[in-house]
Amino acid sequence: MSAIDSLFARLRRTGQKALIPFVTAGDPDLDFTAAVLRRLVDEGAALCEVGVPYSDPIADGPVIQASYTRALERGLKVADVLGMLATVAPELKAPLVTMVSYAIVYRHGLQQYVEAARRAGVSGLIVPDLPVEESGPLAQLCRNADLSLIQLVTPTTPDERAKRIAERSSGFVYYVSVAGVTGERAALPPELVDKVARLRRHTDLPICIGFGISRPEHVRLLAPVADGLIVGSAIVRHVAQAAERPRAEVLDEIAQFVRQMLAAMGRRQ
């Protein structure tokens, strides 16, 4: 079992759901990224998703796109990101996954990237631009390395294709809550709960929902049907303030936000 398999098996036994924050690596710098990861896990995040900045991001809204641009303008390299993760991962009581473009993985070489990620303490990869038809080689390499390959299902994915994606996925299935890009939203689609329930008929894997989740009321709506909830832009927006404000204050605000989201799940620290 991968670390992510073990995590969700434990959560299911205890009837808990995973809060999965997303942070951009290197915004405003890698030292602060490491500090944010430590604080997120200390506050109760079950798993953390780390975005590897890419010049042509896929489905990322303006907040995350801007964070990628800032990191890349400072000369951030993939090796720098993995080096930071190798330092921080042993300190954390939660698995780490990277959100990484297939263009980066392909350029490094599939086996080389998987081995480098494993050495860095990464437990899984989310590769949003990898079609299920082309995912076989990377899926096999990840299985060999005990890494999860987490793939995405969207509201417009036909049922038969969703089933194929779920069959090729490991760790969990990432369900995209809305058609479009990431970003904070006032409301989520009313049909979302039913669509997640339909996907569950096709897989025994945990289903984690992302895109647009930024308020406690979103958590209260989705926690009953999801195994985990992914929160991205709301956290990245907080992190961006660290370039101009005292970092300790920003960390405290992130912690307060996480506590609010966990409380909406019915969890307490």
Residue 235 lies in a domain: yes
**CA pseudo-torsion sign 184, 207, 228, 130:** negative
3-state SS record for the chain:
CCHHHHHHHHHHHHCCCEEEEEEECCCCCHHHHHHHHHHHHHHCCCCEEEECCCCCCCCCCHHHHHHHHHHHHCCCCHHHHHHHHHHHHHHCCCCEEEECCHHHHHHHCHHHHHHHHHHCCCCEEECCCCCHHHCHHHHHHHHHCCCEEECEECCCCCHHHHHHHHHHCCCCEEEECCCCCCCCCCCCCCCHHHHHHHHHCCCCCCEEEECCCCCHHHHHHHCCCCCEEEECHHHHHHHHHHHCCCHHHHHHHHHHHHHHHHHHCCCCC
Q: Tell me whether residue 42 is in a domain.
A: yes
Spatial separation of the C-alpha atoms in residues 120 and 152, rounded to whole Å: 24
Instruction: Read off the pLDDT band of 184 (50, 70, 90).
Output: very low
- Banded model confidence at residue 194, pLDDT cuts 50, 70, 90: confident
**Model confidence, pTM:** 0.92
What tokens does 264 get? 């909406």
- Please pick, among 5, 27, 43, 60, the residue that the annotation labels catalytic: 60
Where in the sequence is the domain holding 227, given as residue range(s)? 31-264
CA gyration radius, the chain: 17
Mean pLDDT calculated for residue range 82-92? 98
60-80 pLDDT per residue, tens: 668 888 999 999 999 999 999
Q: What is the per-residue pLDDT across 94-138, written as a single tens digit (0 to 9) for each?
A: 999 999 999 999 999 999 999 999 999 999 999 999 999 999 999
The structural domain count of the chain equals 1
Residue 3 lies in a domain: no
150 DSSP β-pair partners:
126
43: nearest Cα among 263, 261, 266, 258? 258
- CA dist 124 and 49 (Å) reads 9
Residue at 5 is within a domain: no
Residue 78 and residue 105 in contact, taking contact as beta carbons nearer than 8 Å: no
What percent of the chain has pLDDT above 70?
Answer: 92
Residue 269 lies in a domain: no
Q: Confirm whether 1 is domain-assigned.
A: no
Q: Is 49 a catalytic residue?
A: yes
Active site residue 91: no
13 in a structural domain: no
- Encode pLDDT of 150-166 as tens digits: 999 988 899 899 999 99
Q: Of 29, 49, 184, 244, which one is the catalytic site residue?
A: 49
What number of CA atoms fall less than 13 Å from residue 155's CA on the CB side? Answer: 15
CATH number at residue 66: 3.20.20.70
Alpha-carbon distance of 204 to 254, in angstroms, equals 32
Closest CA to 16 of 184, 220, 224: 224
Q: Is residue 138 part of a domain?
A: yes
